[in-house]
Structures are given as C-alpha cells and as structure tokens.
Amino acid sequence: MRPFIIRHPSVGVFLALLALFTIFVTVMSEAYGLGFVSTSFVKTLGKTLCLGLVAISMDLVWGYCGILSLGHFAFFGLGGYMIGMWLMYARTKLIVVASLANAELPATEQEVVDAIGNQIFGVVGSSDFPLIWIFADSFVLQMALVVLVPGLLALIFGWLAFRSRVTGVYLSILTQAMTLALSVYLFQNDSGLRGNNGLSGLQNLPGADAIAQSHISIWFFWASAAMLGLCYMAAAWIVSGKFGSVIRAIRDDETRVRFLGYSVEGYKLFIFVVTAIIAGIAGALYYPQAGIINPAEIAPIASIYLAVWVAIGGRGRLYGAVIGAAFVSIVSTYFTGGQAPDINLGFYTIQWVDWWLVALGLAFVLVTLFAPKGIGGLIDLFEGRRSPDRHGADLGPDAGSLREAEAEK
C-alpha cells in the first residue's frame, strides 16, 4: 500500500506549510533572527497555533462525529489551569526559598510550604493549600494531570450523556451547562484556584529568570507548532481509516450504525475523550504564552467561538478548522483591539469594538446558510473537485438516478 502521506496529500501540504511558517517566524524573531517580529507578536502567533490545535479537536468531535460540543474550551482551560498550578508553585517556591535563605535558622519544609501558600493564596484571603494542589510540586505528575483531568471529566460526562442517548441540541445544551458550572465554580474564591484572579505570571518559567522572554516565546512557539503538526497527523490518521468511516457514519445516521453492530456510544465516548485531551494539551501550551488564566476564559462564550471558528473554516476537514481558528481569531483581535478604523455613516459611526460581534455573528449565519463548506471549501474550488449537488427525494427506478428537484429541470 502507498505511504500515508501520498494517499493524503493535504497532510503533507499542511505540515510543509507549518514548517515553513515556523522557520519564517524564527528567522524574523528578535531572539534568533532579524527582529522584524516582536516578542509579543511571536506570542500571539504561538497562541494562534494552540487555537488551531483546539479547533482540530472541535472538528474531530463536531465536524466528523457530529457531536456539537460546547464544552471543549472548558477542557482547554482545564489544561491551562493544570500547567499553571505547577508554574506558579515552582516559581513561588524558588522566590520563597531565596528569601528565606537569609534567615538565621534554616527554614523547615513546612515553613517553606506555608510561605508559598501565603504568597499564592493571600489574594483570596487564605494560606492553606487545597487538596487539588497536592501534586503541584511535581512537574511530572502535574503534566500528567494536563492530560488526565480533561480526559477524566470528558469520560465521566460523556459516559453519562451518551449512555442516556442524549443527542443533538440537547447534548449541546448539556455540554454548555457543564462549561458554565465549571466556570462559575472556579469564580468562587474558595474553589482553590484563586477565584476570579486566576493563575498569573505563567509566562515566567521557574529558574529561567535569566532567559529573556524573546527566547522563551520562540520556544513555546516551536512547541506549539510541533504539537499542532503531531496532533494534525494523528487526527488525519484517525479519520482516514475505517474508524473515520464509522464516526462519519455516526454523524450521518447513528441508528443505522447501531444496526450494523457498532456500539455508537463507545465510539462517541472515545472521540469525546481523545478530543478533550487534545484540547487540554492545547490549553497547556496556550496559557504560558498568554501569561494568565482566569475563569472567564472558560465561560461558555469561548466554546461557542470555537464552534464558529470551525464552521467558518469548514467542518469535516482538518485544515479547514485550523484555517478558521487562525483567520477568525486574528481578525477578531484586529477588530476588537481598536486598530480597525471606524466607519462614519454620517448619522452613525460604526465602532468595530462594539459591532464586531454582530459582524461575526452575521458571517457565521451566512457561512452556515450559503457556504456550508466554509473557507476550506475554496480549496475544492481551486482543485476543481465538486460534490454532487442533490436536492429532493429519490424518484425511484423510472427516472434513474435523478432526484425530484433535478428531474424537474
């Protein structure tokens, strides 16, 4: 059999473009190159790659398996929180140990932990470590939680929801409720994750104070690009074979798939958990570049944005999701950042900061109605690949393979 890359040329093209982009940004960066691209913009690009990654997970679960999850940004945020706990703990520990080194008596272990707790939780009027911070001291264990926490939450939630055969819009509402509950819980000061303050200072790697942010930012950019490439390949492999065939069949007619003998619930649960883990990893790479995570990041609106990106980029094709996430998030930043010029209509001035959401919503509706393939569909146009445009019901044998709407012409 021919190699995977040759059978799926889009994977090769995507990886090549990603590699070129990475090299280009590196050459243009302040740390390793000509300095045309500022450090903060490198961070923006790195974050955009992470958004592309979470969009891939959304495309797998929605575009391929038909589960419109409005909770994948919650998994993304949880991944960010998990890495944030280690970053904050480890860095605070270094600071505390340094400041206690001057004391006359060497500090005991307990004193160090108490001092760290004071530093981290002073802002919410507490100093004790909640149970969920139990692994924060260990890099390895906390990294494992990046994968385990979103994965387990998805496993439990998905098992309950899919087993009861909740589908369609009801499932979307349920996932949104989960997201909202999680974000409301994290907003509380006694949630153990610093309430609405969130975790901050995540851009500073522990023990790396001597290294400039310009270098750290490009490292994270590389890591994000590598993870995007890796997960893209993995996702392309998952959807290319028989497994992809089955999940697309579940999307189109899950009852029929059941009568073929496939356990639809098992497949949905599998894809839900895998994509939650990918989202968690994406979040763990995103938030050290953003520097701060707070519960507002998990609010349901973020997950709705995610669905909008994937819809505009093109559902059911992986590169479409990445294009959608990158394009819409960068354009969003431009319009909401106050850089876009206002439009003066004479009687009213359109200020993009206020009107951008309306424009985005309109774009979403228009794309869904008139260009369901999204931006990715342009590539079909370019390739000259056209799928049959069929309307109406089967006519039966006499009119051959025509359908009602076609036969009338």
Partner 1 sequence: MSMLLEVSGVSVTFDGFRAINNLSFQIGDAEMRAIIGPNGAGKTTFMDIVTGKTQPDEGHVLWGPKSVSLLKMSESQIAREGVGRKFQRPTVFEDQSVFDNLLMALKNPRGAFGVLFYRLGDKDRERVRLLAEEIGLQDELSRKSGELSHGQKQWLEIGMLLAQDPKLLLIDEPAAGMSPAEREHTTEILRRAAKTRAVVVVEHDMEFVRRLDCRVTVLHEGAVLAEGSLDHVTSNQDVIDVYLGR
Does 242 interact with partner 1 (rule: CB under 8 A)?
A: yes
In degrees rounded to 5, what are phi and psi of residue 379? -70, -35
Can you tell me which residue has the tokens 């004391």? 103
Token pair 């393979």 is at which residue?
A: 401
Interface residue with partner 1 among 143, 378, 395, 406 (CB under 8 A) is 395
Q: Which of residues 249-288 bind partner 1 (CB under 8 A)?
A: 249, 252-253, 255-256, 258-264, 266-267, 270
Q: In this complex, which beta carbon is closest to partner 1, that of residue 49 or of residue 321?
A: 321
Span interacting with partner 1, options 49-57, 240-248, 284-292, 342-350, rule CB under 8 A = 240-248
The values of phi and psi at residue 256, to 5°, are: -60, -40
What is the closest distance, in whole angstroms, from the C-beta atom of residue 165 to partner 1 in the complex?
A: 10
Do residues 318 and 96 touch, judged by C-beta distance below 8 A?
no
> Of the candidates 370, 384, 400, 409, which one interacts with partner 1 according to CB under 8 A?
400
Token pair recorded at residue 383: 């390739």
Instruction: Say if residues 83 and 205 touch (Cβ distance below 8 Å).
Output: no
Inter-axis angle of helices 318-336 and 352-370, to 10 degrees?
160
Q: In the complex, what is the shortest distance from the CB of residue 99 to partner 1, in angstroms, rounded to a whole number?
A: 52
Check binding of 386 to partner 1 (CB under 8 A). no
Instruction: Choose one: 71-79, 83-91, 292-300, 398-406; the region binding partner 1 (CB under 8 A).
Output: 398-406
Instruction: Mark the segment that binds partner 1 (CB under 8 A) among 19-27, 66-74, 108-116, 246-254.
Output: 246-254
- Whichever of 131 and 260 has its CB closer to partner 1, that residue is 260
- Residue 402 makes CB contacts below 8 A (sequence gap 6+) with 395
By beta-carbon proximity to partner 1, the closer residue of 63 and 198 is: 63
Under 8 Å between Cβ of 313 and 55: yes
- Which member of 13, 390, 392, 407 binds partner 1 (CB under 8 A)? 390
Applying CB under 8 A, the site for partner 1 has a residue count of 33
The strand pair at 199-200 and 292-293 is best described as: antiparallel
For partner 1, the binding residue among 243, 340, 368, 375 (CB under 8 A) is 243
Q: Which is nearer to partner 1, 242 or 409 (CB)?
A: 242
The answer to whether 341 contacts partner 1 (rule: CB under 8 A) is no
The DSSP H or E segment spanning 199 is strand 199-200
Cα of 392 vs its chain's centroid, Å: 37
Secondary structure of 334-392 as H, E, C letters: HHHCCCCCCEECCCCEECHHHHHHHHHHHHHHHHHHHCCCCCCHHHHHHHCCCCCCCCC
Shortest Å, Cβ 82 to partner 1: 26
Q: Which of residues 65-124 bind partner 1 (CB under 8 A)?
A: none
Rounded to the nearest whole angstrom, what is the least distance from the CB of residue 162 to partner 1 in the complex? Answer: 12
CA distance 115 to 92: 9
The residues that touch partner 1, with contacts defined as CB under 8 A, are 1, 238, 241-243, 245-246, 248-249, 252-253, 255-256, 258-264, 266-267, 270, 387-388, 390, 394-398, 400-401
